[in-house]
Amino acid sequence: MDLAIDLSNPAKALSLPHIRYQLIRLEDTVLYHLIERAQFPLNSPIYTPGALQIPNSTLSFSDWVLREQEKLQSQIRRFQSPDEYPFFPDAMQPLILPPLEYPKILWENDVNCAAKPQRAEKAAVEEAQENYGSAATADVNCLQSLSRRVHFGKFVAESKFQSSPETFVPLIKAGDTQGIDAAITDAKVEKKVLERLRLKAEMYGTDPGMDAEAPRKVNVDGVVAMYKDHVIPLTKVVEVDYLMQRLKGSEWE
Amino acid sequence: MDLAIDLSNPAKALSLPHIRYQLIRLEDTVLYHLIERAQFPLNSPIYTPGALQIPNSTLSFSDWVLREQEKLQSQIRRFQSPDEYPFFPDAMQPLILPPLEYPKILWENDVNCAAKPQRAEKAAVEEAQENYGSAATADVNCLQSLSRRVHFGKFVAESKFQSSPETFVPLIKAGDTQGIDAAITDAKVEKKVLERLRLKAEMYGTDPGMDAEAPRKVNVDGVVAMYKDHVIPLTKVVEVDYLMQRLKGSEWE
């Protein structure tokens, strides 16, 4: 669906400042969607297959809604974009628009960890009663923005690889995933991400017309913990998985 | 889709403070969605029927995406909720969940102005190139939240009617729509809405990590103008249309 702005320009797409800008902007998107989701109770039955009977499907209600969304969005080019990955690759439909020609930015790879962020998101939401459709619809936005954030790791990884193949090639050849993980980790940047996220969650989650002491529209600690415990680690999993496939067919193979 | 929280409680649903709270919270939703939409260019071809060829449809691309969304959302009860109205009533599908029993809060009416906010929203977006799917998808969120805001006028109207039938019954009987419009208008509240909206657009549209002088993520003046010139007037159209049907079958007919 061409959500990825500027992915038509490979040099820009792989410049680290540009990637950072995108990731920072994506934090806003994630937060807006989480704040919207937090209006509704957790509604745990929507996540349990069989808890709600759905005609001709064994999926949970939440997964069914997500899958139907992906069916629709696949028709309008969402998953053509190199930063978009479906949770349900089997649900993809024919395009109704002519395909877009994206330049080759990433190395050939099959990394898709879109099934994983789901659990992470729930941490930021509180428990209670009924708004199944609303909750599941809000979940789609949350999950898709989190998935996009996590898969942006591919661009980060490609960018880091290109600027220092001498670091990565030996680690990749040795299958040293821990070494790769260490090489891509920047603890200072991670700390800054979490600080910025907290500040934004406070700001976007506060109604300026209300009492400053009013409860935030989203669980700020929950959001920060979700990034710390799930989003950042998953992004690194994507980066490592991507790099492990980076030499195949390359000059270093 | 049961997006409407607390509509299961008629007394609460019609209390003016409660309605105000909902409308204020909806401003946030509208702003988040507009900020997301403003990431993408206007992409005017998506609004022009025929500009993009869509198999088996004469709709504009944007309308096609909206209609497909409504088809999906109609299955998960969105339009059962008394504050949700489809842009494409002909696209409604059978429910996959058991229907919800909402108590009767509004008087029987057929007011649906969901086709109108579309033009209003465009004012807040700038012109440019290509992200058709992304833009149309972001539009769905904008349009649906604006439509919900506008149709909330029914609750406002019912609440005002119940607290002062002696004001409204003669005006309605006389078909005095201008008189009704005057009776429901509170210029001070409208001014406050616009001020609060400006403050929020500034706050949610600013990244706290960036330079305070950096451009906002959304056109603040555009958002305020959209509410002033379109959202508020359209809400009043809904209120007046609703009230014009309020006596039918009632004790005042």
CB contact under 8 A, B24 and A209: yes
Q: Mean pLDDT of all residues in chain B?
A: 87
Residues 68-97 of A with CB under 8 A from B: 68-69, 72-73, 76-78, 96-97
The reported pTM is 0.89
Mean pLDDT of B93-115: 84
B116 in Cβ contact with B33 (< 8 Å): no
Choose among B29, B91, B147: nearest CA to A141: B29
B217 in Cβ contact with B206 (< 8 Å): yes
CB contact under 8 A, B76 and A132: yes
Name the token pair of B5: 């929280």
- Asked whether residue B116 carries a pLDDT value surpassing 70, the answer given is no
Q: What is the pLDDT of residues A45-99, one digit of tens each?
A: 898 999 998 999 999 999 999 999 999 999 999 998 888 889 999 999 999 988 8
CB contact under 8 A, A28 and B55: no
Which residue pairs from A63-69 have beta carbons closer than 8 angstroms and sit at least 24 positions apart in sequence?
A: A63/A87, A63/A88, A64/B96, A65/A133, A65/A136, A65/A137, A65/A139, A65/A140, A65/B72, A65/B76, A66/A136, A66/A139, A66/A140, A66/A143, A67/A91, A68/B72, A69/A140, A69/B72
Measure CB to CB from residue B5 to each of A5, A39, A54 and give the nearest one: A39
- Asked whether residue A14 carries a pLDDT value surpassing 90, the answer given is no
Q: What is the pLDDT of residues A182-213, one digit of tens each?
A: 999 999 999 999 999 999 999 999 888 777 77
pLDDT attached to residue B76: 92
Prediction ipTM score: 0.88
Choose among B201, B193, B226: nearest CA to B28: B201
Q: How far is A169 from chain B (nearest CA, A)?
A: 35
Measure CB to CB from residue A76 to each of B1, B3, B136 and give the nearest one: B136
Residues of chain A with C-beta less than 8 angstroms from the C-beta of B132: 2, 76-77, 97
pLDDT attached to residue B43: 87
pLDDT attached to residue A115: 55
Q: What is the pLDDT of residues A149-184, one digit of tens each?
A: 999 999 999 999 999 999 999 999 999 999 999 999
pLDDT attached to residue B117: 46
A17 shares contact with chain B (CB less than 8 Å): no
CB contact under 8 A, B132 and A61: no
Q: What is the pLDDT of residues B144-190, one digit of tens each?
A: 999 999 999 999 999 999 999 999 999 999 999 999 999 999 999 99
Alpha-helix runs per DSSP H in A38-97: 61-75
Residue B1's pLDDT band (boundaries 50, 70, 90)?
very low
Residues of chain A with C-beta less than 8 angstroms from the C-beta of B204: 32, 203-204
A102 in Cβ contact with A84 (< 8 Å): no
Instruction: Give Cα B193 to chain centroid, integer Å.
Output: 15
Distance CA B160, CA B182 (A): 13
Contacts of B245 (CB under 8 A, 6+ apart): B107, B108, B109, B110, B111
- Asked whether residue B193 carries a pLDDT value surpassing 90, the answer given is yes
pLDDT attached to residue B172: 97
Instruction: Give Cα A82 to chain centroid, integer Å.
Output: 13
pLDDT attached to residue A6: 62
Interface-testing mutation among B26, B131, B193, with chain A (most A C-beta atoms within 10 A): B131
Residue A3's pLDDT band (boundaries 50, 70, 90)?
very low
